[in-house]
Each structure stands twice: as C-alpha cells, then as structure tokens.
Amino acid sequence: MSETKHVLGLSGGKDSSALAVYMRQHHPEIDLEYFFTDTGKELPEVYSFLNP
C-alpha cells in the first residue's frame, strides 16, 4: 500500500493562509507539504508573506 501524501496550495491570500495556519495548529500530526505557483502577477505582500 502506498503512503498518503498531503499537499496544501498557498495563493498568498487570506483563505489559503488561514487554512495553512489552522492545519498546523490543529492537526500537527499530519505531515503537510505546501506549494505555491508564482503567476508573476502577485502583489508584493504575497512575497513578503511567503519569504519572511
């Protein structure tokens, strides 16, 4: 049987960010991998959030 992989996409917006924070705080037992697809049209604040 294959191991389940959990991934969570981040857009840099409030909804995906809130979900990432929620999952880390309430389900630390789940090994999540995060991904972000840069469209080249992101607001500067998105890059500040993703690269603190």
What's the average model confidence in pLDDT over 41-51? 79
Q: How many angstroms separate the Cα of 18 from the Cα of each of 1, 3, 22, 23, 45?
A: 32, 26, 6, 9, 15
Task: pLDDT band for 2, please (50, 70, 90 cuts).
Answer: low
Domain of 15 in residue numbering reads as 6-42
- Asked if the structure places residue 15 within a domain, the reply is yes
Q: How many CB atoms lie within 10 A of CB 27?
A: 10
Question: For residue 34, is it within any domain?
Answer: yes
Q: pLDDT (tens digit, 9 = 90+) per residue, 5-37?
A: 999 998 877 898 899 999 999 999 999 999 988
Q: Cα 38 to the chain's mean position, in Å?
A: 13
What total of structural domains would you count in the chain?
1
Q: Is position 23 within any domain?
A: yes
Instruction: Report if residue 14 sits inside a domain.
Output: yes
